[in-house]
């Protein structure tokens, strides 16, 4: 199974600032996904980027993928207090995948 490792473990920013989270993985992938967890319950899928894509946008989210470095980044622009959550990356290699410990983002008003 494939596990993503997020970095940093925790991040605090002011409302309106941008937040960048990174993810590294070890083996080749079909796609990489980012998820958000707000309240210690279920995760919500944010965005999926395929191995042949380099960048993808969805609203205030921008995801990049560098397969040569086996890394991805998630950028949240113009952050809001409601973005406060844990963010997980999930590299998918065709079998099951394992979530890493996540990045805990705190957006301060």
Across the chain, where does the E strand assignment appear?
2-3, 5-7, 10-14, 19-24, 31-37, 44-50, 55-58, 61-66, 71-76, 85-92, 97-98, 103-108
Find the binder of another protein among 30, 64, 67, 73 (CB under 8 A). 30
Candidate segments 15-23, 61-69, 74-82, 90-98, binder of another protein by CB under 8 A: 90-98
Q: Does 44 bind another protein (CB under 8 A)?
A: yes
- Nearest CA to 79 out of 1, 15, 4 is that of 15
Q: Compute the distance between CA of residue 65 and CA of residue 89 in angstroms, rounded to an integer.
A: 12
Residue 78 CB, nearest distance to another protein (Å)? Answer: 25
Candidate segments 15-23, 52-60, 65-73, 99-107, binder of another protein by CB under 8 A: 99-107
Candidate segments 13-21, 36-44, 65-73, 75-83, binder of another protein by CB under 8 A: 36-44
């Amino acid at each position: 199974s494939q596990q993503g490792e997020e970095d940093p473990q925790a991040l605090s920013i002011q409302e309106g600032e941008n937040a960048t989270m990174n993810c590294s993985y070890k083996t080749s992938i079909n796609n990489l996904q980012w998820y958000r967890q707000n309240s210690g319950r279920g995760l919500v899928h944010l965005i999926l980027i395929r191995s042949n894509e380099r960048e993808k946008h969805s609203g205030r989210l921008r995801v990049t993928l560098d397969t040569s470095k086996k890394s991805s980044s998630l950028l949240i622009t113009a952050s809001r207090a409601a973005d406060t959550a844990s963010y997980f990356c999930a590299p998918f290699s065709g079998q099951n995948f394992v979530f890493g410990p996540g990045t805990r983002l705190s957006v301060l008003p």
